[in-house]
């Protein structure tokens, strides 16, 4: 199930093995009953879907409460032991089940036991608060878009058209010229102060993205092929077009064109998280930037 519901949790708890004369499937409810039944289990979605969204990813949370209603028939500790066994069985069932899908990043369980009827001290309510958090690709409108320029890129197996990369974020482009120092006895800036001249051009590109199935393929624009050596033995040269918003109101669009050779494609397969790629490249010549 992609999104857990109270009915899904009831199905999970229906399969449990509970102590004799305690919980059966006909006293497990996926709603709160107006008239309480002892013993029974009531399941409610106490906090509907909550969302935390950034340009990198979206995290959705759900909170359920599972109420175990139990009546202590005697004064002995064996009745509390029975309630403990019910609680342990519930946690065991939930741990073994799949509350959502592979995108679930966190599950938390917290018990609280109370006596709701003060005039009847032998009535217990044991409540399990269950929180489920899941991560997925962001639904926010991206500010930045990275496009593979098919006509200007030198790769094998060209895609035949420009290709856009989805879920690109934290893009860094830096460039400049290194310096050559000439040591002189005297310079306009003082004795033994070197004179500087421009050396070779130097630049780098760093980009991060969450990878989807559509980003993997056989053509030279796909992220799994960006670092593939060409049939000539040369490294591929990729032309990128990157656009992002500036700080004005309304925002303008910054468009940058640059040419890089891919040096490294790192993959990060984090536990229970989205697959992230980190692409590093070397700029082969100065980029061009325009604002519209």
- Answer for the pair 275, 210: CB distance below 8 angstroms, yes or no: yes
The pair phi, psi for residue 16, each rounded to 5°, is -80, 160
pLDDT in tens, 53-98: 776 777 888 899 999 998 876 655 566 788 899 999 999 998 888 7
Q: What confidence score (pLDDT) does residue 30 get?
A: 96
Rounded mean pLDDT, 46-50: 85
* Highest CATH level, class, for 145-291: mainly beta
Residue that wins the pLDDT comparison between 90 and 246: 90
Q: Which residues neighbour 111 within 8 Å (Cβ) at sequence distance 6 or greater?
A: 87, 126, 127, 128, 129
Count of all residues that appear for the chain in the document? 292
Average pLDDT, the chain: 87
Under 8 Å between Cβ of 90 and 83: no
Distance between CA atoms of residues 154 and 235, nearest Å:
9
β-strands 253-268, 288-291 pairing: antiparallel
Indicate the pTM of the whole model: 0.63
CA distance 232 to 229: 8
Q: CA torsion 99→102→106→107, rounded to 10°?
A: 20
Q: Which residues lie below 8 Å from residue 133, measured CB to CB, with a gap of 6+? A: 59, 60, 61, 104, 105, 106, 107
Give the list of residues 6+ apart from residue 255 with CB closer than 8 angstroms, or none: 241, 242, 243, 289, 290, 291, 292
The DSSP symbol for 122 reads: T
Contact partners, residue 217, CB within 8 Å, separation at least 6 = 224, 225
Residue span(s) of the chain under CATH 3.30.2000.30 come to 6-137
What stretch(es) of the chain map to CATH 2.40.30? 145-291
- 151 three-state secondary structure: coil
Place 183 in a pLDDT band, splitting at 50, 70 and 90.
confident
CATH class of the structural domain 6-137: alpha beta
Other CB atoms within a 10 A radius of the CB of residue 215 amount to 18
Amino acid 1: pLDDT: 46
User: Helix-strand-coil percent breakdown of the chain, rounded to 5?
Assistant: 10, 45, 40
Q: What is the pLDDT of residue 118?
A: 61
């Amino acid at each position: 199930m992609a999104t857990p519901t109270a009915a899904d949790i009831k199905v999970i708890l229906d399969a449990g093995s509970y102590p004799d004369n305690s919980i059966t499937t006909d006293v497990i409810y996926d709603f709160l009953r107006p008239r309480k039944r002892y013993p029974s289990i009531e399941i409610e979605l106490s906090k509907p879907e909550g969302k935390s969204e950034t340009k990198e990813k979206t995290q959705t949370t759900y909170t359920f409460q599972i109420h175990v209603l139990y009546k202590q028939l005697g004064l002995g500790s064996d009745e509390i032991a029975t309630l403990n066994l019910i609680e342990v069985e519930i946690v065991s069932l939930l741990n073994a089940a799949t509350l959502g899908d592979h995108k679930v990043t966190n599950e938390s369980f917290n018990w609280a036991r109370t006596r709701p009827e003060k005039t009847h001290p032998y009535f217990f309510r044991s409540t399990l608060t269950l929180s489920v958090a899941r991560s997925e690709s962001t639904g926010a409108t991206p500010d930045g878009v990275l496009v593979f320029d098919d006509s200007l890129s030198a790769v094998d197996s060209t895609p035949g058209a420009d290709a856009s990369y989805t879920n690109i974020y934290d893009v860094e482009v830096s460039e400049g010229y290194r310096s050559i120092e000439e040591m002189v006895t005297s310079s306009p800036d003082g004795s033994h102060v070197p004179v500087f001249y421009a050396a070779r051009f130097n630049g780098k590109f760093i980009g991060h993205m969450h990878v989807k199935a559509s980003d993997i393929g056989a053509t030279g624009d796909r992220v799994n092929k960006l670092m593939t050596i060409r049939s000539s033995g040369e490294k591929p040269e990729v032309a990128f077009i990157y656009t992002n918003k500036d700080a004005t109101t309304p925002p303008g669009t910054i468009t940058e064109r640059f040419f890089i050779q891919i040096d490294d494609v790192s993959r990060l397969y984090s536990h229970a998280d989205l697959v992230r790629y980190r692409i590093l490249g070397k700029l082969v010549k100065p980029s061009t930037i325009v604002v519209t």
